[in-house]
């Protein structure tokens, strides 16, 4: 359930690992598949490991920001629409 401290990230656009922390070394807890309609909310964000998503329809995306998802776990910012990511980070 969204709260005043919940940020809407919208849907993911590619297969995304949800990890136990904001690090590529953190264990994967679940895999989220893109479906274009399921939106995700974050309860916070942190700087963590840099993730590079290259050779994709959106161009090369590089980010060291990770979102703590309302459903639990952490997901890299590269998995979400970059305009939504910028809005969330600008409001925080």
For residue range 9-50, list pLDDT tens digits in order: 999 988 999 999 999 999 999 999 998 899 999 999 999 999
Cα–Cα dist 45/14, whole Å:
20
Cα–Cα dist 13/90, whole Å:
21
Write the pLDDT tens digit of every residue in 42-88. 999 999 999 998 877 778 899 999 999 999 999 999 999 888 899 88
| Total-model pTM | 0.87
Phi, psi values for residue 48, rounded to 5° = -150, -150
């Amino acid at each position: 359930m969204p709260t005043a401290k919940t940020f809407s990230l919208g849907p993911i656009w590619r297969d995304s690992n949800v990890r136990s922390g904001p690090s590529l070394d953190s264990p994967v807890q679940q895999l989220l598949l893109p479906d274009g309609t399921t939106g995700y909310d974050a309860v916070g964000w942190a700087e963590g490991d840099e993730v590079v998503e290259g050779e994709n329809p959106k161009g090369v995306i590089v980010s060291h920001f990770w979102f703590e998802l309302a459903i639990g776990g952490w997901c890299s910012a590269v998995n979400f629409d970059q305009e939504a990511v910028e809005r969330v980070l600008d409001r925080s």
